[in-house]
Amino acid sequence: MQETTPLIEFDAVEKVYGEGEAAVHALDGVDLKIQAGEFVAIMGPSGSGKSTAMNMIGCLDTPTAGHYRFAGIDVGALSRDQRALLRRNYLGFVFQGFNLLSRTSALENVELPLIYRGMPTKQRRLLAMRALQRVGLAQRENHTPSQLSGGQQQRVAIARAIVSDPAVVVADEPTGNLDTKTSREIMDLLVSLNRDQGITVIMVTHEADMAAYAGRIIRFVDGRIDPTVSQEAAQ
């Protein structure tokens, strides 16, 4: 049986910052495969390489050596503009700090990625409302972030991430600013988007109980993947 092409693949990826004695090997020959439809949690202490790996997955950085392939395409061989198009068309991002525009309504925040695409107002408004409905905020479209709870703000951020129907949602500590109950609600939402919509979710977290929601846990240590910890999560 022929193996399907991974959606995301690192092949001996290295990332070096600086030169000579000051050189820092953020990634040191990493091999990694993530299939379409997976929910993967990435863990590791500060300086382990997990943030560098996420920046690379998000097409914000390129390898010093080795290859990063997205759906079989060598991202390192793309121009900056081509990588920006890949990000715009295939990736959605969720951050710990929500990153919403403070004086802008929930609906307008969700519309932003579609504005960058040049989509007509009527069409993008329809898609933004649909995305808010998917995250359970259909009645909050006119609220600004200051009128929403932390959990609701993160739901708006997730709606913004999925409004363009991305193949992958990259979530960087998505529950880091939330209480335990709200964190679980956000994780349940990410699980449902992964399970019901088929969106691949790649999440960085330092919380083991949040990582347990994922189908697989990958732990970085000193720029490499720790084979003793990277495993199927108990769901």
Please write the tens of the pLDDT for every residue from 34-77.
Answer: 999 999 999 999 889 999 999 999 999 999 999 999 999 999 99
Structural domains in the chain plus CATH codes: 8-232 (3.40.50.300)
What are the tens digits of pLDDT across the range 211-227? Answer: 999 999 999 999 999 88
Measured at the CA of 81, the angle between CA 103 and CA 66, to 5 degrees, comes to 115
Report CA-CA distances (Å) from 190 to 103, 168, 193, 202.
26, 12, 5, 10
Averaged over successive runs of 10 residues, the pLDDT of the chain (235 residues) comes to 82 92 90 96 92 92 94 93 92 89 94 90 95 92 93 94 94 91 93 94 94 95 83 48
Spatial distance between the Cα atoms of 22 and 14, rounded to a whole number of angstroms = 16
Contacts of 101 (CB under 8 A, 6+ apart): 108, 109, 112, 145
CA-CA distance, 137 to 140, in Å (whole number)? 5
pLDDT at residue number 228: 76
Query: Which three-class secondary structure state does DSSP give residue 6?
Result: coil
What is the structure's pLDDT at 177? 86
User: Helix H segments across 2-96?
Assistant: 50-57, 80-90
* pLDDT confidence of residue 96: 84
> Which residues does 199 contact at the CB level (< 8 Å), separation at least 6?
92, 162, 166, 167, 168, 169, 193
CB-CB neighbours of 201 under 10 Å: 25
- pLDDT score for 161: 94
The pLDDT value recorded for residue 232 is: 54
Placement of tokens 């949602």 in the chain: 169
19: left (phi over 0), alpha (psi -120 to 50) or beta: beta
Instruction: Look up residue 167 and give its two tokens.
Output: 């193949």
pLDDT for 2 equals 53
